[in-house]
Amino acid sequence: MKITILGNNSAIPAHGRNPSAQIVEIKDLLLLIDCGEGTQMQMIKYGIKRSKIRYILISHLHGDHYFGLIGLINSFGLLGRTDPLHIYCPELLPAIIQAQLDASSAHLPYELHFHTISDAGARTILVDNNVFKISCFPVEHRIATHGFVITEKAKARKLDIEACRKYEIPQYFYKRLQAGDDYEQKDGTLIPNESVTLPGPGDKVYAYCADTRYTLSFVEDVRGADLIYHESTYLDADVDLAILRYHTTAVQAAELAQAADAKRLMLGHYSSRYKEIEAFEAEAKRVFPNTVASFEGLEIHV
């Protein structure tokens, strides 16, 4: 799984920083999380193949998280997309997008499927297939907002070729070994799967927590994640503003990551009041050393 940051500023584009948008790449498929204004230009700048986006997750309806969406939906039509597009979003979004499409008499050549998430707050599985799973959890913001957990499932077990030869296992059976089956020899002797395979890599978990004030209400949802993205709109000196506006400081984001026993933390959603962002990482690292402050174009492997 690879995350690419397309936007990391909050509220308005400022200081060369764009509003929220991230790409998650799993195998040959792309997910887009939030779609602030300017996201398409950022996709072009960073070489993101728009046609590979199958799923879009919108955390909430503050404009800096979705004002780029109608443009992207329209471009997909103009580019002749035929693959269905699935959007997971707050309850009001389908009506907003439909009004925009109706006003321009737009006819999309692809199926657009909206899957709404209850504004009352939902903990539910949104997508679950052989390769990955997406679930959501409520966070605490001024309007209904959800975070997302994306889990890339563990790959099949790896073959121990030397052991397979030793037990004279025919090659046609290798696929079943990778799926976890035992092998029975002609004389009835059972060769346990663990004797001829090695464990594949484990599940990889990415948790996206934005926008929210500091709270441990969702710490169990993100526990043990390989990477947590947590908004950090403010520096510690402005903690009062963070509380007032339902946002988080870098230090608070680090405290959440520590409480959740995460492996890594990524910061973002910086307030426009800060021209430079170096201090965010420095403040968070005092609490949670394995922190990186996101910057546009950052690619981070999970």
The residues binding Zn ion (CB under 5 A) are 62, 211
CB of 60 to Zn ion, least distance (A): 6
Pull the structure tokens for residue 287.
Answer: 């609490």
Report the alpha-carbon angle 21-1-126, nearest 5: 70
Is 238 marked active-site?
no
Helix (H) or strand (E) holding 57: strand 53-57
* CB 73 within 8 Å of CB 104: no
CB of 34 to Zn ion, least distance (A): 10
| Cβ distance to Zn ion smaller for residue 204 or 247 | 247
CB of 209 to Zn ion, least distance (A): 12
E strands along 91-186, which residues? 112-117, 124-128, 132-138, 146-152, 158-159, 183-184
Pull the structure tokens for residue 133.
Answer: 């799973």
- DSSP H helix total and E strand total for the chain: 9, 18
Pull the structure tokens for residue 296.
Answer: 């546009």
To which residue do tokens 């994640």 refer? 225
Q: Give the CB-nearest residue to Zn ion.
A: 62
The amino acid occupying position 31 is L
Which of 28, 34, 64, 102 does the annotation list as catalytic? 64
| Cβ distance to Zn ion smaller for residue 62 or 81 | 62
Neighbours of 211 (CB within 10 A): 26
Which has the closest alpha carbon to 169: 129, 135, 138, 197? 197
CA 268 to mean position of chain CA atoms:
13
Pull the structure tokens for residue 112.
Answer: 């657009």
CB of 90 to Zn ion, least distance (A): 11
Pull the structure tokens for residue 230.
Answer: 């947590």
The amino acid occupying position 7 is G
Which has the closest alpha carbon to 267: 234, 223, 230? 230
Catalytic center residues? 64
